Amino acid sequence: MKKLSLIVALVASVALLGSCLRGSDPQPERVGGMTFVNTFIEANGAFYLVDRNTIQGLYPLDYRTYGPSWPVYYPGEGRRLEIYSSYEDARLVDTTFSMQDSVYYSSIVYGTHDDPRHFITEDRIPDGVDDPAAIAAVRFYNLANTERRVTLHIGEIESVAAFRNRPLETPASGKQGEDFIPVAIGNYTVTVVDEEGETVAIRQGTVDLPAGSYTSIFLTGDERDPRTFYVGIVRQWVN
Amino acid sequence: MQTNINLYKSIALSLGVMLLGGCIKDEETEPEVRSGFTVVNSFSEAQAVQHRFDAGRGFQPLNQGQGYRGIDFYVVPSCENCKLEIVSSNELAQLVDTAFALQVNKYYTSFLFGTEEVPRHFITEDQVPEGVDDPAAIAALRFFNLAKTTDRVTLHIADAEPIAAFRDRPTETPKTGKDAQAFIPTTHTGTHVLTIRNENGEQLARRTGVALDPGDYLTLFLTGDGGESAPYYIGVVRHRGIN
């Protein structure tokens, strides 16, 4: 009888005390990580490796897509990033990056097999913004294999300097253009025109830029076939 | 009660059979001895070829057919008197019928090239270059001209001065191929553009983005005949293992 009550006491204390542990501590929230954007037109897809490990969903990542749906978090210094083309396994990128906690990054690959290009942006809320959820902000890249300088038009909004006459990005110009620029909240027709005013590509339908949205808009495609020009939109995580 | 005793007897009997069965020597599995065997198809005159391999138990197909420019890796039983037969998809013509030895835990590569009239074939032993302490710390290359061409060809890696063994190579014979089986170490690691030029400096083929990292052992080869159906092409074999 004594034994039984001891067992009951033990079970009861485990069961009751166990519940004390649950949920009371706040779970540290994982913020930060990298989104991968594939605008490399010369292959159907690209294979991504970080420190020689594949990334689920990015093996391969198709042209004109981005992923994974939740940014991948690789804290630390000197991470090796390799990107291989689905064509002949050509290595497009072999670089290292460092990732800090609480920062979102984007890896953007573009160019050609002869001249593959890549840069990594830090995706931040613009300076001096009190309420990040109250504004919409945009950045624009020319990632198309073209000699033309292109300008982004968001509806009838006066185009800001950063969206005007952009030549094909270099890794340096891409990195410099990483800042998001606040624009008026709204629903817009988005077009990209060249320096002659000729339309290069129109985004089908309208693009919604609601409050709290941070959007990369880019031109991709190749001059050798003008039908390939396309306005890409990536909703970004920012911090 | 009688049935119970019978039941126990039969249980004891079957248990005995099962347990003693384990003692019978013949049933023990032989330790498997294996070799690595890469097969490369540079034979442009057929859509595909089939490799049939005999490790002493009769010919068995290694694959259902390997397309032109295909590179496949197999782990096969080691054997003193291995036989390999390669059959073309054109009327199942036999292109190769050869015998050789494959030692345990060693790596080999079979190269098929040439024409239907003169099919050519050689098997390399894939070895770490001599005097190398740490095979994972270096990268090494070898180059074969397996194309149907009268040109002598040179392999250029980026803008570097071509390696002597990669210069002015005529189409291999089985002998020249075998003689050139040694991997040549290079410190020139990174991502390279390869070009192959003939003796007039004319570019025959080009390949971008060839990754060469420490620990990589590559065979580079020229294949094709420069025609429309088989343009010149640079093949890259990434060796899974070397000895």
Note whether B219 and B138 are same-domain residues: yes
Cα distance from B207 to chain A (closest Cα, Å)? 8
Residues from chain B that touch A116, judged by Cβ atoms under 8 A, are: 209
CATH 2.60.40.1120 residue ranges for chain A? 129-239
Note whether B106 and B210 are same-domain residues: no
**How many domains, in total, are found in chain B?**
2
H or E segment and range at residue A215? strand A214-222
Buried b (16+ CB within 10 A) or exposed e, A162-188: ebeebebbeeeebeebbebebbeeeeb
Give the C-alpha separation, A79 to A123, whole Å. Answer: 18
Q: Is A71 left (phi over 0), alpha (psi -120 to 50) or beta?
A: beta
CATH 2.60.40.1430 residue ranges for chain A? 29-123
**Which of 65-124 (A) contact B at CB < 8 A?**
82, 84-85, 88-92, 94, 113-114, 116
Q: Provide the residue range defining the domain that includes B218.
A: 129-243
Is the interface score ipTM higher than 0.85? no
pLDDT of residue B216 exceeding 60, the answer is yes
Report pLDDT for B12.
78
Residues from chain A that touch B236, judged by Cβ atoms under 8 A, are: 89
Q: What is the CATH number of domain A29-123?
A: 2.60.40.1430
Note whether B114 and B147 are same-domain residues: no
Of A91, A113, A116, which has the smallest distance from its Cβ to B211's Cβ?
A: A91
Only one residue has tokens 């032109």, namely B68
Dihedral angle sign, alpha carbons of residues A90, A95, A101, A106: negative
pLDDT of residue B33 exceeding 90, the answer is no
B88, B109, B125: which is the final residue of a domain? B125
Note whether B109 and B174 are same-domain residues: no
Q: What is the chain A residue with the closest CA to B206?
A: A114
CATH code of the domain in which B142 resides:
2.60.40
Average pLDDT estimate for B222-233? 96
Give the phi and the psi of residue B13 in degrees, each rounded to 5. Answer: -65, -50
Report pLDDT for A5.
76
Dihedral angle sign, alpha carbons of residues B130, B134, B139, B145: positive
pLDDT band at B30; cut points 50, 70, 90: low
pLDDT of residue B233 exceeding 90, the answer is yes
Q: What SS3 class is residue B21?
A: helix
Q: What is the CATH number of domain A129-239?
A: 2.60.40.1120
Please report, in tens digits, the pLDDT of each residue of chain A (239 residues total).
566 777 777 776 666 665 555 555 666 666 789 999 999 999 999 999 999 999 988 999 999 999 998 899 988 999 999 999 999 999 999 999 999 989 999 999 999 999 999 999 999 999 999 999 999 999 999 999 999 999 999 999 988 999 999 999 999 999 999 999 999 999 999 999 999 999 999 999 999 999 999 999 999 999 999 999 999 999 999 99
Tens of pLDDT, residue by residue over B65-88, are: 999 999 999 999 999 999 999 999
Percent of chain B with pLDDT over 70: 91
Percent of chain B with pLDDT over 90: 84
**Which of 126-145 (B) contact A at CB < 8 A?**
none
User: Is there a domain that residue B13 lies in?
Assistant: no
**Percent helix, percent strand, percent coil in chain A, to nearest 5:** 15, 45, 40
Tens of pLDDT, residue by residue over B160-204, are: 999 999 999 999 999 999 999 999 999 899 999 999 999 999 999
Cα distance from B219 to chain A (closest Cα, Å)? 15
- State the average pLDDT for chain B: 92
Note whether B151 and B96 are same-domain residues: no
Residues from chain B that touch A82, judged by Cβ atoms under 8 A, are: 211
Report pLDDT for A7.
76
Note whether B117 and B175 are same-domain residues: no
Q: Where do runs of H (alpha helix) occur along A22-165? A: none
CATH code of the domain in which B34 resides:
2.60.40.2890
B99, B125, B151: which is the final residue of a domain? B125
Report pLDDT for B9.
77
Report pLDDT for B31.
64
B92, B125, B158: which is the final residue of a domain? B125
